[in-house]
Amino acid sequence: MNLEKICFDAQKIIRKTGKYIIQESKNFNTDKVETKGLHDFVSFVDKNAEQQLVTSLKQLLPDAGFIAEEQTETFRSDKYNWVIDPLDGTTNFIHGLMPYAISVALMDKDELVLGIIYELSRSEMFYAWSGSKAFLNGKEISVTKTSKVQDSLIATGFPYYDYARLPQFMKTLDYFMRNSHGLRRLGSAATDLAYVACGRFDAFYEYSLSPWDVAAGAFIVMQAGGKVCDFSGGSNYIFGKEIIAANPNIYQEFLNEIKRMMEHE
């Protein structure tokens, strides 16, 4: 399989869907929003965008299955599966805020082999495939070389329905406010991960995430020289609902602090 060709063909599909989302954003209003759960929103734009992606990606890889947020396609393959978030940052989108992004990854069984994130407000396409470097609009990118958490800019996301670990999470906010260059919360985990990959953030952490939020970004971070894990330092970050991504120099220190404060009770 030529993953490089698939990556560039998939980008054309994603760009086309991105144009649709941007066009819809110009006349969007909150009357068109449905609620899936507590603070969990979806619009016809999410659903239509996902359907466009699924239809075109099926033509690109007819035997592949899908793990897709809006479940417009539920077929799962024993080998290849696309992992799709058609609009990561829906809450931003419905309020007219940036950023929001399309996130598409390809898995070969349990292994990530391709990742693409298209951040729409800046028309930035982040991508990588197995064996490649990571790229942003054709230029190679890499994670930062910052050596201490205290010199780092850190991204996170706030839980919006699972508050069971909120007390521990608040400890992390307190700690990193006092012991880093600061915290940022953009509202799009895919974008956060892309920004770690290209060196805008030194690290990112969040819990209560889904596979489509993190699959593409985690892969791009790794291809950009970063490290990715769950809160215990393990590899269950795609389906385990928690993720840490950081440059390799601060990775262990960052992980140790997250472990200390976010321990399971």
Tokens in use for 15? Answer: 């760009």
**Residue 69 CB contacts under 8 Å (≥ 6 apart), including other chains:** 46, 50, 84, 85, 86, 210, 212
Question: How confident is the model over 80-126, as pLDDT tens digits?
Answer: 999 999 999 999 998 899 999 999 999 999 999 999 999 999 999 99
How far CA 22 is from CA of 144, 185, 193, 200, 214, in Å, comes to 31, 22, 22, 24, 22
CB-based contact 225:120 (threshold 8 Å) = no
- Are residues 130 and 169 both part of a single domain? no
Question: How confident is the model over 162-177, as pLDDT tens digits?
Answer: 899 999 999 999 999 9
Pairing of strands 227-229, 242-246: antiparallel
How many other CB atoms are there within 10 angstroms of residue 60's CB atom? 15
The pLDDT value given to residue 265 = 45
Q: What is the CATH number of the domain that holds 34?
A: 3.30.540.10
Tokens in use for 165? Answer: 């670990």
- Are residues 91 and 108 both part of a single domain? yes
Q: How confident is the model at residue 42 (pLDDT cuts 50, 70, 90)?
A: low
- Please count the structural domains in the chain: 2
Strands (E), 111-265: 111-119, 124-129, 134-136, 139-141, 153-156, 182-184, 203-207, 227-229, 242-246
The pLDDT value given to residue 29 = 73
The pLDDT value given to residue 39 = 44
- Are residues 132 and 21 both part of a single domain? yes
- Are residues 27 and 129 both part of a single domain? yes
The whole model's pTM is what?
A: 0.95
Q: How confident is the model at residue 192 (pLDDT cuts 50, 70, 90)?
A: very high
- What mean pLDDT is predicted for residues 247-257? 98
- Are residues 116 and 212 both part of a single domain? no
- Are residues 160 and 132 both part of a single domain? no
Q: Per-residue pLDDT for 264 more than 60? A: no
The pLDDT value given to residue 248 = 98
